[in-house]
Copies of this chain bind each other. A is one copy, B any other.
């Protein structure tokens, strides 16, 4: 193993440009008190030598690590990767996060942490001691884990909480769950549906509540009842099956169902098929989460896109801004989500009202 030292250091640049280390440091950190001519001379030496500062050395001298850590739930993330269902949270995070980080000279690293477990704190402390990140992005369900939030607050480190609207330390950023649920409900109402069911998400996620709230609010505004139209779920396919069965077994069963994620939407589709209900002829379905499986389902499903990349990108922007200016962002951010119409939603078939299956 050859000892791999930095090939070209700030010293080389300094001697090449005939200035002190400090002046070079000022140039690379874009600090004041350097005359333009001098700045130019130093920059030229930097370019000529191909100098790039070492992150490790910068961190050592008590400055930035230029690292932003994305904290994801270990069990969930691994399960998602293993299922290969294409609900590619981490990929979308990296898409938004890495590219935005790169624009500011930062890098993004993914770290897996167990939400449940008494050792969260130790795990976090270890990751921080090893990596010393400058900022952190929390994803659900970490975004609302009081232990994690308190830890980050104590560190005095800027962080974003994705999927949370709670006040408190850290910037809360959501993907407008309530608004999306309202828009989905609106779409169905516009198609003539009146009995619109909703399968909720895991109560561990506050966004589940917000989606349910949005649906209830929109139904109420249209003067429609939600009695017997809510079924609980926990984001698993199995819970989707159970809830779809429960909703559709009723006398006055819904003519449309909104599922709080993609797997439960696929479950609704499966149940509809089993009950010989045509989608969208007899039953309209809308999925929260526009994953590959949803798009390739038969029929392709109307879905709400989760703008994960855009959300993480904004989170990074906030963190870096706070790092630079020191001012905390107080207000919550809400990233709009698109509703994509496909073939799982259709006008309510009148024929069904007289009890006859199928159309005229």
Query: Which residues does A use to contact B, with CB under 8 Å?
Result: 1-8, 50-57, 59-60, 62, 65-66, 78, 80-82, 84-86, 88, 90-92, 94-95, 98-99, 107, 109-110, 112, 122, 125-126, 129-132, 155-157, 290-293, 295-298, 309, 323, 326
Contacts and interface: CB of A to CB of B under 8 A. Distances in A.
B86 A293 contact: yes
A99 B132 CA distance: 20
Given A84-B291, A86-B291, A309-B81, A54 B132 contact: yes
A78 B102 CA distance: 14
A56 B56 contact: yes
Nearest to A63: B3
Contact of A130 (B54, B82, B309, B326): B54
A323 B4 CA distance: 13
Nearest to A90: B91
A128 to B, nearest CB: 8
Nearest to A102: B112
A210 B347 CA distance: 51
A155 B4 CA distance: 8
Contacts of A5: 62
A129 B1 contact: no
A122 B7 CA distance: 13
A6 B129 contact: yes
A56 B65 contact: yes
A109 B297 CA distance: 34
A206 to B, nearest CB: 25
Contact of A95 (B57, B81, B86): B81
A315 to B, nearest CB: 17
Contacts of A8: 129
Given A56-B55, A56-B60, A112-B98, A132 B6 contact: yes
5 contacts: A1-B326, A6-B129, A81-B92, A81-B94, A84-B92
Given A129-B6, A132-B6, A296-B297, A95 B82 contact: yes
B56 A59 contact: yes
Contact of A60 (B57, B85, B297): B57
Given A98-B112, A293-B295, 19 more contacts: A1-B326, A4-B62, A4-B132, A6-B129, A7-B129, A8-B129, A52-B129, A52-B130, A53-B129, A53-B130, A54-B129, A54-B132, A55-B56, A56-B56, A56-B132, A66-B130, A78-B95, A82-B95, A107-B109
